[in-house]
A and B are shown apart, each in its own frame.
Chain A
Amino acid sequence: MTNPYQDDVLRYPQARDHVLRALARILPPSCLIGKPEAMRPYTSDGLPVFSAMPVAVAIPENEQQLSATLRILNDQGVPIVPRGGGTSLSGGAVPHPQGVVLSLARFKSVRWIDPARRLCRAQSGVRNAALSEAAAPHGLFYAPDPSSQIACSLGGNIAENAGGIHCLKYGLTWHNVVSVRLVCADGTVLEVGEETGFDPLPLVVGSEGLLGVVTEATVRLRPIPPCTRLLMAAFSQISHAGAAVAAIIAAGIVPAALELMDHLAIVASEAFCHAGYPQEAQAILLCELDGIEEQVAEDESCVRELLQQHQATSCRAAQNEQERTLFWSGRKAAFPAAGRMAPDYYCMDGSIPRRALAEVLGTINTLGEEYGLNVMNVFHAGDGNLHPVILLDADDPDQLERAQRLGSAILTACLDAGGSITGEHGVGVEKLDEMCAQFSTTERERLLATKQAFDPKEILNPGKGLPTLRRCAEGGALLVRGGQLPHPELERF
Chain B
Amino acid sequence: MADRTAVISEQIKTACQHQRPLRLRGHGSRGIADHLPGDWLDLAEHSGIITHHPQELVVTVRCGTPLVELEAELAAHRQTLPFAAPMPKGRGTIGGAVALGLAGAARPYLGSVRDALLGMRLCDGQGEVLHFGGEVIKNVAGFDVTRFMCGALGSFGVLLELSLRLIPLPAAQCTLGFVMDIPQAITACSAWVRQGWPVAAMLHDGQQLVIRLVGGSRAVASARRQLGGGELDGAIWDTLRLEQGGPFAAALPPWRIHARTAPGSLPPQSWLLWEGELLYVGRQAEGGRHDMDHLAGPDGQVMIHGALPPPAPPRYQALYRRLKQVWDPQHILNQGLWLDDAWHQSRSLAQVRHG
Contact A351 B130 (CB under 8 A): no
Contact A423 B139 (CB under 8 A): yes
Contact B141 A443 (CB under 8 A): no
Inter-chain contact total with CB atoms closer than 8 Å = 228
- Minimal beta-carbon separation of B298 from chain A (angstroms): 13
User: CA of A174 to CA of B140 in the docked complex: distance in angstroms?
Assistant: 11
- Chain A residues 411 to 448 lying within 8 A of chain B, measured CB to CB, are 418-427, 431, 434-435, 438-440, 442-443, 446-447
- The contact string, 1 if C-beta is below 8 Å from chain A, for chain B 263-296, is 0000000000001011000000000000000000
* Stretch from B33-41, B203-211, B215-223 at the A interface: B215-223
> Chain A residues near B315 (CB, 8 Å)?
190-191
Contact B115 A249 (CB under 8 A): no
User: CA of A144 to CA of B110 in the docked complex: distance in angstroms?
Assistant: 16
Contact A298 B218 (CB under 8 A): yes
A488 within 8 A of B: no
In the complex formed, the residue of A with least CB distance to B143 is: A203
In the complex formed, the residue of A with least CB distance to B309 is: A197
User: CA of A299 to CA of B131 in the docked complex: distance in angstroms?
Assistant: 37
> Chain A residues near B130 (CB, 8 Å)?
440, 442-443, 446
- Minimal beta-carbon separation of A93 from chain B (angstroms): 15
Residue among B78, B141, B215 making CB contact with A422, cutoff 8 Å: B141
User: CA of A226 to CA of B235 in the docked complex: distance in angstroms?
Assistant: 31
Contact B150 A202 (CB under 8 A): yes
Residue among A196, A205, A425, A466 making CB contact with B151, cutoff 8 Å: A196
- The contact string, 1 if C-beta is below 8 Å from chain A, for chain B 293-330, is 00000000100000001001001100110110111000
> Chain A residues near B53 (CB, 8 Å)?
353, 355
Contact B258 A195 (CB under 8 A): yes
> Chain A residues near B152 (CB, 8 Å)?
197-199
A136 within 8 A of B: no
Knowing A249-B55, A292-B198, the reply to whether A297 touches B136 (Cβ < 8 A) is: no
Residue among B57, B138, B142, B301 making CB contact with A424, cutoff 8 Å: B138
In the complex formed, the residue of B with least CB distance to A190 is: B315
- The contact string, 1 if C-beta is below 8 Å from chain A, for chain B 130-172, is 1110111111111111111011110100000000000111010
- Minimal beta-carbon separation of B170 from chain A (angstroms): 8
- Chain B residues 103 to 127 lying within 8 A of chain A, measured CB to CB, are 111-112, 114-115, 124
* Stretch from B67-75, B186-194, B243-251 at the A interface: B186-194
User: CA of A210 to CA of B140 in the docked complex: distance in angstroms?
Assistant: 14
User: CA of A421 to CA of B140 in the docked complex: distance in angstroms?
Assistant: 8
Contact B124 A446 (CB under 8 A): yes
Contact B198 A423 (CB under 8 A): no
Knowing A418-B134, A450-B323, the reply to whether A203 touches B144 (Cβ < 8 A) is: yes
User: CA of A194 to CA of B327 in the docked complex: distance in angstroms?
Assistant: 20
In the complex formed, the residue of A with least CB distance to B57 is: A249
Contact B132 A443 (CB under 8 A): yes
A246 within 8 A of B: yes
User: CA of A297 to CA of B111 in the docked complex: distance in angstroms?
Assistant: 25
**Do most interface residues of chain B lie in helix, strand or loop, or is the interface mixed?**
mixed
A295 within 8 A of B: yes
In the complex formed, the residue of B with least CB distance to A453 is: B322
> Chain B residues near A117 (CB, 8 Å)?
190, 275
User: CA of A438 to CA of B111 in the docked complex: distance in angstroms?
Assistant: 28
B338 within 8 A of A: yes
Contact B138 A383 (CB under 8 A): yes
A200 within 8 A of B: yes
* Stretch from A121-129, A159-167, A475-483 at the B interface: A159-167
> Chain A residues near B228 (CB, 8 Å)?
none
User: CA of A426 to CA of B140 in the docked complex: distance in angstroms?
Assistant: 6
User: CA of A449 to CA of B125 in the docked complex: distance in angstroms?
Assistant: 14
Knowing A353-B135, A424-B138, the reply to whether A223 touches B218 (Cβ < 8 A) is: no
User: CA of A423 to CA of B167 in the docked complex: distance in angstroms?
Assistant: 21
A454 within 8 A of B: yes
Residue among B56, B143, B196 making CB contact with A450, cutoff 8 Å: B143
- Minimal beta-carbon separation of B64 from chain A (angstroms): 21
Contact B190 A200 (CB under 8 A): no
A97 within 8 A of B: no
> Chain A residues near B78 (CB, 8 Å)?
252
In the complex formed, the residue of B with least CB distance to A354 is: B56
- Minimal beta-carbon separation of B105 from chain A (angstroms): 14
User: CA of A174 to CA of B143 in the docked complex: distance in angstroms?
Assistant: 12
In the complex formed, the residue of B with least CB distance to A253 is: B168
User: CA of A295 to CA of B199 in the docked complex: distance in angstroms?
Assistant: 13
User: CA of A251 to CA of B100 in the docked complex: distance in angstroms?
Assistant: 31
- Minimal beta-carbon separation of B215 from chain A (angstroms): 5
A36 within 8 A of B: no
> Chain A residues near B153 (CB, 8 Å)?
197
- Minimal beta-carbon separation of A140 from chain B (angstroms): 7
Among A295, A424, A431, max chain B CB count under 10 A is at: A295
Contact B320 A447 (CB under 8 A): no
Contact A453 B326 (CB under 8 A): yes
Knowing A200-B323, A446-B327, A453-B322, the reply to whether A353 touches B190 (Cβ < 8 A) is: no
Contact B143 A207 (CB under 8 A): yes
Knowing A225-B196, A292-B223, A294-B216, the reply to whether A202 touches B137 (Cβ < 8 A) is: no
In the complex formed, the residue of A with least CB distance to B102 is: A196
Residue among A171, A190, A199, A439 making CB contact with B142, cutoff 8 Å: A439
Contact B326 A160 (CB under 8 A): no
User: CA of A46 to CA of B326 in the docked complex: distance in angstroms?
Assistant: 34
B230 within 8 A of A: no
User: CA of A355 to CA of B315 in the docked complex: distance in angstroms?
Assistant: 44
Contact B312 A446 (CB under 8 A): no
In the complex formed, the residue of B with least CB distance to A352 is: B136
- Minimal beta-carbon separation of B341 from chain A (angstroms): 15
Contact B134 A292 (CB under 8 A): no
> Chain B residues near A223 (CB, 8 Å)?
193-196
B197 within 8 A of A: yes
- The contact string, 1 if C-beta is below 8 Å from chain B, for chain A 390-426, is 0000000000000000000000000000111111111
Knowing A205-B144, A206-B143, the reply to whether A249 touches B56 (Cβ < 8 A) is: yes
User: CA of A223 to CA of B192 in the docked complex: distance in angstroms?
Assistant: 10
A-B contact pairs, 27 of them (CB 8 A): A116-B187, A117-B275, A118-B190, A160-B140, A163-B138, A171-B115, A175-B115, A196-B100, A196-B102, A197-B101, A198-B312, A198-B316, A223-B193, A291-B198, A291-B215, A292-B198, A295-B198, A295-B219, A351-B137, A353-B135, A354-B137, A418-B134, A420-B136, A423-B136, A427-B140, A440-B130, A452-B326
Interface residue ranges, B against A (CB under 8 Å): 53-58, 78-79, 100-102, 111-112, 114-115, 124, 128, 130-132, 134-148, 150-153, 155, 167-169, 171, 186-187, 190, 193-198, 215-219, 221-223, 258, 275, 277-278, 301, 309, 312, 315-316, 319-320, 322-323, 325-327, 338
Closest 8 CB pairs of A and B: A252-B168, A202-B147, A298-B216, A423-B138, A295-B219, A453-B322, A250-B55, A383-B137
Given A174-B115, A198-B338, A449-B325: 8 more A-B contacts, CB < 8 Å: A202-B145, A249-B57, A294-B216, A295-B218, A298-B218, A353-B58, A353-B135, A384-B138
